[in-house]
Amino acid sequence: MVGNREARCRGSLRGTGGVKVKIRQLQVPGSWEITPEQFGDARGAFLEWFKGSIFEDSVGHSLNLAQANCSVSAAGVLRGIHFADVPPGQAKYVTCVRGAVLDVVVDIRIGSPTFGTWDSVLLDDVDRRAIYLSEGLGHAFLSLEDNSTVVYLCSTGYTPGAEHGIHPLDPEVGIEWPMKTRAGEPMKFTLSDKDAAAPSLHEAVQAGMLPSYDEVKEWVGGLA
């Protein structure tokens, strides 16, 4: 499978009240990079990391907020590739408020024209970008610095029996994870026991674990 860090669509500027936000569709359909405008002075900085009107205008529907998560990770911690059964799935709007992570979205929808494709966004405390991935997509991130703090808004709550994973180092997916930390030190991956035992993409296909592209498309289309 071929991954690509280059988006096929150019970013567009959207905004209300004089605040501009750059929205860029990623290589995986159903995912976007969001770059907010920051306002800084001697006191610090201010930004709107999520704005419902801009989100809805770009994605085509509002974000149903059911749960908000916060994850703190040491350098080298690798989380994912996680996904949830559709319906209802779990859409995520993710940013990094401290440190830096490489955030990755993977197309795991059976029958999708871009099945197996991945794309990535650097989320950090400098540019303060966010990434949105809709239902039916796989999600993973690698912490590039100690105490990297990721917060994300979820469209549904945690449902253990409906949530699954694919091994983030699966060569078939072929994600190009950084080999050095933000400080330039050699990267040493740390996975949870659950993520380390996750199946490969091929094994997940054979087990019937993955969502269907048509079912996901129908479900997401019904959210508009």
Number of C-beta neighbours around residue 46 at 10 A: 12
Catalytically active residues, by annotation = 82, 152
pLDDT, position 14:
63
pLDDT, position 19:
67
Cα–Cα distance, 102 to 73 (Å, whole number): 12
Are 106 and 81 in contact by the 8 Å Cβ rule? The answer is yes
Domain parsing of the chain, residue ranges: 22-38+46-215
The b-or-e profile of 57-84 (16+ CB within 10 A means b, else e) is ebbeeebeeeeeeebebebbbbbbbbbb
Q: What is the pLDDT of residues 135-184, one digit of tens each?
A: 999 999 999 999 999 999 999 999 989 999 999 999 999 999 999 999 99
Four-way CATH pick for 22-38+46-215: 3.90.50.10, 3.30.470.20, 2.60.120.10, 3.40.50.11810: 2.60.120.10
Q: What is the pLDDT of residues 25-79, one digit of tens each?
A: 999 999 999 999 999 999 999 999 999 999 999 999 999 999 999 999 999 999 9
pTM (2 decimals)? 0.91
